């Protein structure tokens, strides 16, 4: 069964198919650092990178959304979806397939700081989500309430763990705030976080606003990566925090 199909094997496709793939060895070039050589070797030998090329997906990240949705089934035909941090377009591709946007059954509004080749069924804007007017521009383009807000955004890192974590959490918190403003009742929010997880205050807010909140690490997320996703489903609307006693 194709990795494009619900319940289909994103991980099966990525396992190398019927044949055994051969490891590609990368020689260290004079002008290439050791770290760059290791990264290139990992990319060339990554079964999900190879599968993404075979399937025509923009990136290996497509399989993360496939695997999460195969298990939790929050993408449905006819929905309105917002894709934050969309470039190069892997998540928009999968969402478009699953909601039927390529057949006019749903719609996707996607944004990123970087340019992105058009994805059939997706309305894309080059936009910094942290700009003051970005949320309002997205709402206008969406033309109504969203059913799903996706965020695969990641802040540029500086190598200082505490600073990097704060930057990452600022993006997640901004995405969660936006989701709470645009989601229809019953909607879902999926966002990238990192181990160390979402901060206590953010998780508490999500648990107030949604029926179910879980952390997910799909099989295609590299084992040596601290990457996780928080999935909140069953949006109930913004709930007031309990009064302090």
Residue 13 has pLDDT above 70, yes or no: no
Sheet containing strand 210-216, edge to edge, reads 122-126, 107-112, 80-84, 146-151, 183-194, 227-235, 210-216
Residues in the chain: 245
Residue 11 has pLDDT above 70, yes or no: no
Q: Does residue 5 sit within a domain?
A: no
The total number of structural domains that make up the chain: 2
Q: Are residues 21 and 103 in the same domain?
A: no
d(CA 171, CA 83): 14
pLDDT, residue 42, reads 54
Q: Are residues 22 and 134 in the same domain?
A: no
Residue 48: pLDDT band (50, 70, 90) is low
Binding residues: 89, 91, 112, 128, 152
Residue 194: pLDDT band (50, 70, 90) is confident
Contact (CB, 8 A) for 214 and 235:
no
Q: What is the 3-state secondary structure (H, E, C) of the chain?
A: CCCCCCCCCHHHHHCCCCCCCCCCCCCCCCCCCHHHHHHHHHHHHCHHHHHHHHHCCCCCHHHHHHHHHHHHCCCCCCCEEEEECCCCCHHHHHHHHHHCHHHCCCEEEEEECCCCCCCCCEEEEECCCCCCCHHHHHHHHHCCCEEEEEECCCCCCCCCHHHHHHHHHHHHHHHHHHHHHHEEEEEEEEEEEECCCCCHHHHHHHHHHEEEEEEECCCCCCCCCCEEEEEEEEECCCCCCCCCC
208-233: per-residue pLDDT in tens? 999 999 999 998 887 777 788 999 99
Binding residues for S-adenosyl-L-methionine: 89, 91, 112, 128, 152
Q: Are residues 67 and 51 in the same domain?
A: no
Q: Are residues 47 and 126 in the same domain?
A: no
Mean pLDDT on 153-157:
74
Of 38, 55, 72, which one is at a domain's C-terminal end? 55
pLDDT, residue 50, reads 75
Q: Does residue 2 sit within a domain?
A: no
The two three-digit tokens of residue 35, written as one number = 């770290």
Q: Are residues 107 and 132 in the same domain?
A: yes
96-115: per-residue pLDDT in tens? 999 999 898 999 999 999 99
pLDDT, residue 19, reads 39
Q: Are residues 35 and 127 in the same domain?
A: no
Q: Does residue 165 sit within a domain?
A: yes
Contact (CB, 8 A) for 127 and 85:
no
pLDDT, residue 46, reads 62
Mean pLDDT on 155-171:
72
Q: Does residue 3 sit within a domain?
A: no
Q: Which residues of 61-70 are buried (b: 16+ CB within 10 A; e: fewer)?
A: bbbbbbbbbb
pLDDT > 90 fraction of the chain, expressed in percent and rounded: 50
Q: Are residues 18 and 134 in the same domain?
A: no
By C-alpha distance, which of 230, 153, 144 is closest to 189?
Answer: 230
pLDDT, residue 36, reads 53
Q: Does residue 243 sit within a domain?
A: no
CATH code for the domain in which residue 198 is found: 3.40.50.150
Contact (CB, 8 A) for 96 and 120:
yes
Which domain does 66 fall in, by range? 61-235
Query: In this predicted model, which residue has the larger pLDDT, 29 or 95?
Result: 95
Contact (CB, 8 A) for 126 and 118:
no
Q: Are residues 111 and 215 in the same domain?
A: yes
Q: Are residues 66 and 47 in the same domain?
A: no
Q: Does residue 242 sit within a domain?
A: no
Q: Does residue 245 sit within a domain?
A: no
Average pLDDT over the chain, rounded to whole? 80
132-154: per-residue pLDDT in tens? 899 999 999 998 899 999 999 87
Residue 17 has pLDDT above 50, yes or no: no
Q: Are residues 86 and 166 in the same domain?
A: yes
Active site residues: 192
Q: Are residues 155 and 227 in the same domain?
A: yes
Q: Are residues 155 and 48 in the same domain?
A: no
């Amino acid at each position: 069964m194709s990795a494009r199909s619900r319940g289909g094997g994103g991980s099966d496709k990525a396992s190398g198919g019927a044949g055994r793939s051969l490891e590609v060895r990368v020689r260290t070039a004079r002008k290439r650092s050791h770290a760059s050589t290791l990264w290139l070797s990992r990319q060339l030998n990554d079964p999900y990178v190879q599968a993404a090329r075979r399937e025509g997906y923009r990136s290996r990240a497509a399989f993360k959304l496939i695997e999460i949705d195969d298990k939790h089934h929050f993408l449905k035909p006819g929905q309105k979806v917002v894709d934050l941090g969309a470039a190069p377009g892997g998540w928009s591709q999968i969402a478009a397939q699953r909601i039927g946007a390529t057949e006019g059954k749903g719609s996707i509004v996607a944004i990123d700081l970087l340019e992105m080749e058009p994805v059939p069924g997706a309305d894309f804007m080059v936009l910094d989500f942290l700009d003051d007017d970005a949320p309002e521009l997205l709402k206008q383009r969406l033309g109504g309430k969203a059913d799903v807000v996706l965020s695969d955004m990641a802040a540029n890192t500086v190598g200082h763990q505490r600073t990097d974590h704060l930057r990452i959490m600022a993006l997640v918190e901004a995405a969660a705030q936006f989701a709470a403003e645009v989601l229809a009742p019953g909607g879902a929010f999926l966002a990238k976080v990192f181990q160390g997880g979402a901060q206590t205050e953010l998780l508490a807010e999500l648990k107030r606003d949604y029926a179910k909140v879980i952390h997910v690490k799909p099989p295609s997320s590299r084992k040596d990566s601290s990457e996780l996703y928080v999935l909140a489903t069953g949006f109930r609307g913004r709930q007031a925090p309990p009064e302090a006693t």
